[in-house]
Amino acid sequence: MSDLIFARAQMGFSLAFHIIFAVAGIALPLMMVIAEALWLKTGDETYKTITKRWARGTAVLFAVGAVSGTVLSFELGLLWPAFMKWSGSIIGLPFALEGYAFFTEAIFLGIYLYGWDKVSRSMHLMSGCIVALSGALSAVFVVTANAWMNAPTGFTLVGNLPTEIDPIKAMCSPAAFPQVLHMLIAAYAAIGLLAAGVHAFILLRDRQNEFHRRAFGICLALGCTMAILEPLSGDILAQMVAKTQPVKLAALEGQFDTMRGAPLRIGGLPDVTKAETPYSIEIPKLLSFLAHHDFNAEIQGLKDFPRENWPPVLWVHLNFQLMVLCGSIMGLVSMCAAAIYLKTRKLPDNPLFLKAVVAISPLGLVAIESGWMVTELGRQPWVVTGILRTRDAVTPMPGLALPFFMFLLVYLILAVVVVILLIREFSRSADLHVGTASAQASKDSDHA
């Protein structure tokens, strides 16, 4: 493997690792403040216990996320110095703002974790809200920077260099809003349903456990709402991709020929040498409709673009299929949940449904990872679409295999430890009942 591939792989797994903590840092604080608000409203101590549990989870995940995020800010330069030199002035602003959002999150998470008995209840709740909000804002800024890489704006090219740089315009890239929306909803859906799965797993053994029933309810409400909304944001995103990155759209769909009324493909293995996508189910005209809201709109095929500018079509297509599959399953289960709730007005807790929630719980994260693979692989061979090639952005430093394996090892160890710690947290909470909840809550406050 070449140094370029090692650099890409290292960047890839660093991001893939960080994104899990980043989305947890977006969604968990929201769940935590919802539980706290319910505690303040109802006076039910079970909600306070839930809040404290999720706050502990947030603390661990935030700490790891803070570290992996710091690493990324360095890696951008260490692996891609030419990219940073070229675009630092243009997208530095959202990164700086992200730094602020991160700082705000850290400060108020500190107040939240350590301030249980030291600040007023409303101040405490507000600190939690600020944590949730700044977590979401971090994502807004980082995704904005990424959106610029996909659909660069806010500068004029003179020769190979950007001039007349306008960082505000760069933040308003056409890709920014659709990508941000899709990412935020995905984060809430993924973490909501993941946590719902964990609580459902324990409820399967102990159906009447009030702690887990209530926690499950909050997770389900958030996760299902967002999972139902996610396809809508996907639609907005797809139209933007069709307009700004036609080659990416063609790769997503394995569309080689330019045509009107292009079909949507389910499955299939794009073959770039034969320029066709066999083994797929084609739904006539649907792609044209989804991309342009017109059944007869023209879709540009890959053949319209020079071969050297094609992304790795097979991988982009497969990741896209995987993302859509995961999202669809989550959406269906969420609709079931909504239907059951609307009919019975009770928490959907029959064993079959609980099992389904457990089964789909990891799918949100799978969808997020594969979705980012689509975005990033789909932009190749460019790091800045149409302007700077990835191979021209990589560091001249040789021997990148060494840092690749070092970081891979460290991240694997970290992942294992985080999982062990979280499992321990969950199993500790498995035995909680209503009666013991308040005792546990007061015990927690000594620890928090």
Return residues touching another protein (CB under 8 A).
56, 59-60, 62-64, 66-68, 70-71, 73-78, 81-82, 84-90, 92-93, 95-97, 99-100, 102-104, 106-111, 113-115, 118-119, 162, 165-168, 395-398, 403, 406-407, 410, 414, 417, 421, 424-425, 446
Q: How far is the CB of 157 from another protein (least distance, A)?
A: 14
Nearer to another protein, 96 or 266 (CB): 96
Q: How far apart (Å, rounded) are the C-alpha atoms in residues 29 and 65?
A: 14
Nearer to another protein, 55 or 318 (CB): 55
Nearer to another protein, 107 or 434 (CB): 107
Query: Which residue stretches of 245-312 are H helix?
Result: 246-253, 286-292
Q: How far apart (Å, rounded) are the C-alpha atoms in residues 19 and 23?
A: 6
Q: How far is the CB of 223 from another protein (least distance, A)?
A: 25
| Two structure tokens written together for 347 | 């928490």
Nearer to another protein, 103 or 279 (CB): 103
Q: How far is the CB of 351 from another protein (least distance, A)?
A: 32
Determine the residue type at 308.
E
Q: How far apart (Å, rounded) are the C-alpha atoms in residues 323 and 321?
A: 5
Q: How far is the CB of 437 from another protein (least distance, A)?
A: 21
Q: How far is the CB of 296 from another protein (least distance, A)?
A: 44
Q: How far is the CB of 90 from another protein (least distance, A)?
A: 7
Task: At 306, give phi and psi (nearest 5°).
Answer: -60, 140
Q: How far apart (Å, rounded) are the C-alpha atoms in residues 175 and 146?
A: 9
Closest alpha carbon to 348 in 335, 361, 329: 335
Nearer to another protein, 5 or 416 (CB): 416
Q: How far is the CB of 92 from another protein (least distance, A)?
A: 2
Note whether 306 and 382 are within 8 A (CB). Answer: no
CB atoms within 10 A of CB 247: 23
Nearer to another protein, 90 or 287 (CB): 90
| Two structure tokens written together for 197 | 């799965």
Nearer to another protein, 104 or 239 (CB): 104
Nearer to another protein, 91 or 186 (CB): 91
| CB neighbour burial string for 111-140, b if at least 16 within 10 angstroms, e if fewer | bbbeebeeeeeeebbbbbbbbbbbbbbbbb
Note whether 47 and 212 are within 8 A (CB). Answer: no
Determine the residue type at 31.
M
Nearer to another protein, 10 or 370 (CB): 10
Closest alpha carbon to 215 in 435, 32, 26, 427: 32
Note whether 192 and 199 are within 8 A (CB). Answer: no
Nearer to another protein, 104 or 328 (CB): 104
Q: How far apart (Å, rounded) are the C-alpha atoms in residues 264 and 286?
A: 5
Q: How far is the CB of 270 from another protein (least distance, A)?
A: 36
CB atoms within 10 A of CB 266: 13
Q: How far is the CB of 332 from another protein (least distance, A)?
A: 36
* Per-position DSSP letters for 351-391, written without gaps between them: HHHHHHHHHHTTHHHHHHHHHHHHHHHHHTTEEETTTEEHH
Q: How far is the CB of 435 from another protein (least distance, A)?
A: 24
Question: For the chain, what is the largest distance between any 2 Cα atoms, rounded to a whole number of angstroms?
Answer: 72
